[in-house]
Amino acid sequence: MPRSTDAAHAVAELRAECEARLAELPDDYAALVTLGELKLRVGLAGEARALLQHASMLRPPSWAAYQRTSALLRRAEMHAEHAFPRPGGAGLPGWGAVKVAAGKLIALAAHRGTA
């Protein structure tokens, strides 16, 4: 099995473990930060920001953990600022205009082919 598949499985398992832990203990600092970092790394900055903000309101286990959480939260906020959130089921931005233009091109090509 390729290494990338192994890594994907490991990340999925870690995510599931963190989510299960948070379902039992919603204020688990380590699970909040770990899941927040995972979500940040896969591009879910908004979800990561919410998790990391929650963790930042809790007592950290150490000064180093506090600094790391703060750095991750700053990164999540930066990425979330530039994110383009789309609601579920939304098509690609501008797809309607692309379909109209494609229809016109097809009609033009058909018209030139018959002329």
User: In this predicted model, what pLDDT tens digit does every residue of 66-89 receive, in sequence order?
Assistant: 999 999 999 999 998 887 766 666
Q: So what's the pLDDT on residue 74?
A: 96
Q: How far apart are CA 48 and CA 34, in angstroms?
A: 10
pTM (predicted TM-score): 0.69
40 falls within a domain: yes
For CA atoms 5, 9, 14, 18, the dihedral sign is positive
Counted domains in the chain: 1
CATH number at residue 12: 1.25.40
Residue 69 lies in a domain: yes
What CA–CA distance (Å, rounded) separates 46 from 100? 33
pLDDT in tens, the chain (115 residues): 567 788 888 889 999 999 999 999 999 999 999 999 999 999 899 999 999 999 999 999 999 999 999 999 999 999 988 877 666 666 667 778 888 888 888 988 888 876 5
Full domain range(s) for residue 47: 3-83
Q: What is the pLDDT of residue 4?
A: 74
Task: Report the 10 Å Cβ neighbour count for 79.
Answer: 16
In-domain check, residue 27: yes
